[in-house]
């Protein structure tokens, strides 16, 4: 990972590739690297779909090693959805393969002068950038079928579906999993639209002939990795819970906690929750011959995913995540798992964020376009996104635009990005994260559900205002650091609860790079990343006024707790308090 | 004008009206009053379509008097288009009638609890707020037909068409002219959507039994008014030019100056300009039996408007304004006046801003939805807005949203409001106004065309950077003050060039109110209004990053002068320099 690959899609004549040694961003990885590049190299007020924007694809610091759980990929750009900086994080095989090819990042720049659509092939011999208009307006699944025919099954792919080509603000970038299915997505913020604006449909990564990345101290790394893996296996969430039921185990938990946003955030409990729970989903998968347990990349030992099949055992989709089941399910009043799995498949194929899409459909339901609970209507609407009909274009532009176009007042977005599957009035810590994260509303940016609901890393009462700001701050800082490592965020449960597992993680990084990082340096790293991102957003015109939930959360209480979001504005403004201190000193 | 009428559409049981004496906002009128109320009473981060927003309808300080040109009405709210404060200004009869009824403002608050649509009837006997669902989804022309049947022809009306009911961000509020045609619109910023969100379709104003507003010193006022009128008649623009050819006289002028934005701002000259010029339009109107000269309200002596008829002499629309002819014409590559007049009629009927609509269609043309030059296609698209099809909804949401939904990079908006009919690269003063006006891109906010092109108020070379900031500052300040008086902005030509006419205007205000205003107090008034508006916007999350033109104007030059917009950011930030001074002192 000592190289940076820059691809200029707007170069005179034809797109060009340049490989340089990574001096400028040395020591950075994942989100740390993507946010540094965007902040330094992209004009904050440029058009997100213009030639000045860049798409940065970076594996984490530990990706490509033998370390467990190191397969997360960061994709950064100025977001066409939020207008601010974006790091969208995905699993799948790409991070490992790209890291083994020796690249700290691919930076795609410029904009082609023609309408041609390109594929980029990267292997040990170099880079090919080839126009391939036969891929135009294909879904991700068909794109990958063509890849298999031409490149076999041992590559990893990044691709966009129709939505990315149409430059929709909810467009994702698909990353293939171990079976070369385009099921792991950098979903949030419209990164797929930026890839589409650069005329890139597909990136094929082939690490044949390359070896695992070697740590500076192999023995120490091996030992730390062993302790880290043991720690994960010992913890009830990462060792058993996620494998057994996947993330969708949360449906029953959040519903019981009254924090399950139902029918566009009108109530906090859904009467159909048990029909779409993780427990039922695992049962269906086992019974029909799917798989309740499945990892998305080599080296994953948590295996939170699965394979969802129809009644005849035919593949429909990977096991839909909790947030997907919620967005297409409870948020829209839909309680049919087969239909939700079909929506998940369509989202992955068209290449759109499941959260943004589901929330947009719920907003459209509030506008009366279709009725709450109309699963077939929802499927039809998602298909329209792929077809690019005017209605599909509206929905594909995200929940915020859908609300604007239909004149809807109740639009659950922050920085124009849709709120995920946790009501901020019943789980106030996550509300602080939604409001203040530089990414827009994003549960992964500081997953307070862990401590508010799952009692991991201590306990902060989800209904009280006390402690939420500190909780969100600590988790946002820790998450930014973890997002730089390439480690899957789910390790957080174990490192929050088990000091020796946290130490094992530090030892892995230190052994790999010959460093002496401490808990304090992790905090410093996370703070630096967040401040870099916030600085970009500030230059893009964001103020504390954008660090707010939509007004209705402050004035409209939600059953069953009948709570509003009552964290004070000045407390929200204290989340990034190290910045204030730095200025004052 | 010593009363304020507050109408609470969300009152328990049914909407209620309260009349209070105007102590709180005493001495304010027009834009001065609307912006003061919005800034003080509306939460800047509320949803523009929510119950917290207010719609303020205020005649100017001199409206309802015998003074000439005093018929302008200000309508204010938080804008659903820009998210900032909005004052949208219209001619027609309403300001005079409302002022004679004694109201400094109507403030419409709250939001009805049902889907009922209301009409509000205001006369000397009081206020009636009546549900009238027979008006649902009628265009403005049909609404006014019904008004005539019920209330006769001597009333003045404010109404919304289908777009306002659908809460589209480009929805206008129609004001009837002297012949009770709904042709004068508070067009910009989606004020019609706010009226629609409050369930108000129609306001009927009847001043039967009321008299002209009496000045404190009638003799002095009469004398000043006489001198003022003489000054207007003496000036070539206000005395002859506008009457003869209307505002559309500018088509040839701007085209010759290379500042006529053509086909979505790709070039600065339109080969079809002579087919849609004001000179030709006046000739057609005269030949067919229309009217090349027509005033929009009693007391208007400039008479810039006209009546456009078809080949058989049947009424199509009022004479389309220059900005309308441009938005539907050159901006879309259309050079057919009959089609443009039909588009103007449809805009007025559906109740949408002609500028925002034309620009949105041009952006859609750039996205390939229809071809540039396709006049029938444009008519079909505007009809779709009225029907509320998904495509119509997109276009009705304005140019910015249209660009987002179709993934278009070239979107000429500032603060999400479409740029009017002057290229900011070839006429740099107006670019400063577009960028910095708290209203979003708005030529009327500081009409630098006057000095850059028409050489009124001196001359500043339109292609040079020097002097543009000062010019825009002075005109924005003067305009804010004029917008408070109820005087038509077109008086500016005469008061800029003729000191004695400026003095006559001051004398009118002083005689009416018993004041001793000077040129300095006019400046102070304008500055206060602008700072009030900027303060609201700041609290709504705006920074200097929003005081910028779209990026492409800075990097892409425009023929024939091959100029970019090269006013420096720090110079744009110095427009409101009295604020800095105030803070420093």
**How far apart are alpha carbons A260 and A252 in whole angstroms?**
9
Task: Give the pLDDT mean for B250-265.
Answer: 98
Asked whether residue B584 carries a pLDDT value surpassing 80, the answer given is no
pLDDT > 70 in chain A, percent: 99
Asked whether residue B351 carries a pLDDT value surpassing 60, the answer given is yes
DSSP element (H, E) containing A554: helix A552-555
Asked whether residue A584 carries a pLDDT value surpassing 50, the answer given is no
The domain segmentation of chain A, as residue ranges, is 3-205, 260-423
Chain B partners within 8 Å of A45 (Cβ): 545, 548, 551
Task: Give the pLDDT mean for B151-157.
Answer: 97
Q: How confident is the model at residue B393, as a pLDDT? A: 98
Chain B partners within 8 Å of A540 (Cβ): 545
Q: How confident is the model at residue A521, as a pLDDT? A: 96
What CATH topology corresponds to B261-421? 1.10.569
pLDDT digits (tens, 9 = 90+) for A72-83: 999 999 999 999
Whether residue B430 is preceded by a cis peptide bond, meaning omega within 30 degrees of 0, is no
Q: How confident is the model at residue A582, as a pLDDT? A: 55
Nearest to B393 among A43, A50, A406 (CB): A406
Mutation for B interface: A405, A541, A568, most B CBs within 10 A? A405
CA–chain centroid gap for B584, Å, is: 35
Asked whether residue A510 carries a pLDDT value surpassing 70, the answer given is yes
Torsion of CA B444, B85, B213, B301, to 10 degrees: 10
Confidence of residue B67 (pLDDT cuts 50, 70, 90): very high
Confidence of residue B521 (pLDDT cuts 50, 70, 90): very high
Nearest to B548 among A45, A193, A407 (CB): A45
**How far apart are alpha carbons A202 and A332 in whole angstroms?**
32
Nearest to B404 among A46, A401, A548 (CB): A401
Report the relative pairing of strands A417-418 and A413-414 from DSSP bridges. antiparallel
pLDDT > 90 in chain B, percent: 98
Report the relative pairing of strands B200-205 and B118-123 from DSSP bridges. parallel
Task: Give the pLDDT mean for B490-494.
Answer: 95
| Whether CATH 3.90.380.10 fits A3-205 | no
Q: How confident is the model at residue A581, as a pLDDT? A: 64
- Whether the Cβ atoms of residue A318 and residue A374 lie closer than 8 Å to each other: no
Mutation for B interface: A166, A171, A407, most B CBs within 10 A? A407
A364 at interface of B, judged by CB pairs closer than 8 A:
no
pLDDT digits (tens, 9 = 90+) for B113-147: 999 999 999 999 999 999 999 999 999 999 999 99
Q: How confident is the model at residue B190, as a pLDDT? A: 98
B78-B84-B86 Cα angle (round to 5): 55
- Coarse DSSP helix, strand, coil percentages of chain B, rounded to the nearest 5 percent: 45, 15, 40
- Cα-Cα end-to-end distance for chain A: 37
Top-level class of domain A260-423: mainly alpha
Task: Give the pLDDT mean for A354-365.
Answer: 98
Q: How many angstroms separate the CA of residue B390 from the nearest CA in chain A? A: 5
B137 at interface of A, judged by CB pairs closer than 8 A:
no
Residues 74-103 of B with CB under 8 A from A: 80
> What's phi and psi for A191, nearest 5 deg?
-60, -30
Q: How confident is the model at residue B581, as a pLDDT? A: 64
Residues 549-568 of B with CB under 8 A from A: 550-552
Residue of A nearest to B398 (CA): A405
- Cα-Cα end-to-end distance for chain B: 37
Q: How many angstroms separate the CA of residue B90 from the nearest CA in chain A? A: 24
Mutation for A interface: B192, B404, B435, B538, most A CBs within 10 A? B404
Q: How many angstroms separate the CA of residue B435 from the nearest CA in chain A? A: 13
Task: Give the pLDDT mean for B481-503.
Answer: 96
pLDDT digits (tens, 9 = 90+) for B264-315: 999 999 999 999 999 999 999 999 999 989 999 999 999 999 999 999 999 9
CA–chain centroid gap for A183, Å, is: 12
Confidence of residue A145 (pLDDT cuts 50, 70, 90): very high
The owner of tokens 């057609």 is B284
**How far apart are alpha carbons B393 and B541 in whole angstroms?**
26
Q: How confident is the model at residue B582, as a pLDDT? A: 55
Q: How confident is the model at residue B499, as a pLDDT? A: 96
ipTM over 0.90: yes
Task: Give the pLDDT mean for A145-169.
Answer: 98
Token digits of residue A547: 């660090």
Residue of B nearest to A541 (CA): B545
DSSP element (H, E) containing A522: helix A519-539
Confidence of residue A199 (pLDDT cuts 50, 70, 90): very high
A534 at interface of B, judged by CB pairs closer than 8 A:
no
Confidence of residue A1 (pLDDT cuts 50, 70, 90): confident
pLDDT > 70 in chain B, percent: 99
């Amino acid at each position: 990972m000592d190289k940076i690959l820059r691809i200029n899609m707007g170069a005179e004549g034809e797109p060009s590739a340049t490989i340089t040694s990574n001096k400028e961003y040395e020591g950075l990885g994942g989100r740390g690297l993507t946010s540094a590049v965007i902040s330094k190299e992209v004009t904050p007020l440029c058009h997100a779909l213009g030639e000045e924007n860049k798409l940065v694809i970076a594996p984490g610091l530990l990706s490509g090693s033998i370390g467990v759980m190191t397969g997360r990929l960061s994709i950064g750009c100025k977001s066409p959805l939020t207008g601010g900086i974006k790091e969208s994080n995905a699993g799948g095989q790409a991070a490992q393969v790209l890291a083994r090819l020796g690249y700290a990042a691919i930076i795609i720049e410029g904009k082609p002068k023609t309408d041609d659509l390109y594929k980029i092939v990267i292997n040990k011999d170099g880079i090919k950038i080839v126009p391939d208009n036969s891929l135009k307006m294909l879904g991700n699944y068909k794109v990958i079928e063509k890849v298999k025919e031409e490149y076999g099954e041992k590559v990893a792919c990044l691709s966009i579906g129709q939505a990315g080509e149409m430059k929709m603000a909810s467009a994702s970038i698909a990353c293939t999993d171990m079976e070369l299915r385009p099921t792991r997505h950098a979903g949030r913020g419209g990164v797929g639209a930026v890839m589409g604006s650069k005329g890139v449909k597909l990136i094929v990564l082939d690490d044949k002939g390359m070896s695992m990345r070697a740590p500076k101290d192999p023995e120490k790394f091996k030992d730390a990795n062993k302790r880290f893996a043991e720690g994960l296996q010992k913890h009830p969430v990462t060792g058993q819970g996620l494998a057994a039921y996947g993330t969708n185990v949360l449906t029953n938990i959040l519903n019981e906690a009254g924090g399950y946003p139902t029918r566009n955030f009108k109530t906090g409990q859904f009467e159909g929750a048990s029909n779409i729970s993780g427990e039922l989903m695992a049962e269906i998968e086992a019974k029909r011959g799917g798989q309740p347990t499945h990892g998305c990349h080599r080296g994953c030992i948590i295996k939170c995913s699965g394979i969802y099949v129809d009644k005849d055992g035919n593949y429909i989709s990977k096991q839909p995540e909790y947030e997907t089941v919620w967005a297409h399910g409870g948020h829209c009043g839909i309680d049919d798992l087969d239909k939700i799995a079909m929506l998940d498949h369509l989202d992955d194929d068209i290449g759109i964020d499941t959260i943004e899409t589901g929330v947009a459909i719920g907003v459209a339901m509030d506008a009366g376009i279709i009725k709450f609970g109309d699963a077939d209507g929802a499927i039809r609407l998602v298909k329209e996104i792929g077809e690019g009909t005017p209605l599909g274009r509206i929905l594909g532009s995200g929940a915020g635009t859908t609300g604007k176009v239909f004149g809807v007042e109740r639009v659950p977005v922050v920085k124009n990005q849709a709120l995920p599957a946790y009501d901020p009035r019943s789980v106030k810590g996550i509300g602080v994260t939604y409001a203040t994260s530089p990414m827009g509303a994003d549960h992964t940016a500081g997953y307070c559900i862990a401590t508010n609901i799952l009692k991991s890393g201590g306990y902060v009462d989800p209904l009280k205002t006390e402690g939420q700001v500190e909780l969100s701050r600590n988790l946002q800082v820790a998450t930014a650091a973890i997002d730089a490592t390439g480690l899957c965020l789910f390790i957080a449960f174990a490192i929050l609860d088990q000091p020796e597992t946290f130490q094992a993680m530090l030892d892995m990084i230190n052994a790999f790079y010959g460093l002496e990082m401490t808990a304090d340096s992790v905090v410093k790293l996370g703070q630096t990343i967040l401040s870099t991102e916030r600085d970009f957003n500030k230059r893009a015109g964001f103020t504390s006024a954008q660090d707010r939930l939509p007004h209705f959360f402050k004035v409209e209480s939600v059953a069953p707790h009948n709570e509003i979001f009552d964290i004070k504005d000045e407390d929200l403004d204290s989340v990034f308090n190290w910045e204030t201190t730095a200025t004052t000193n």
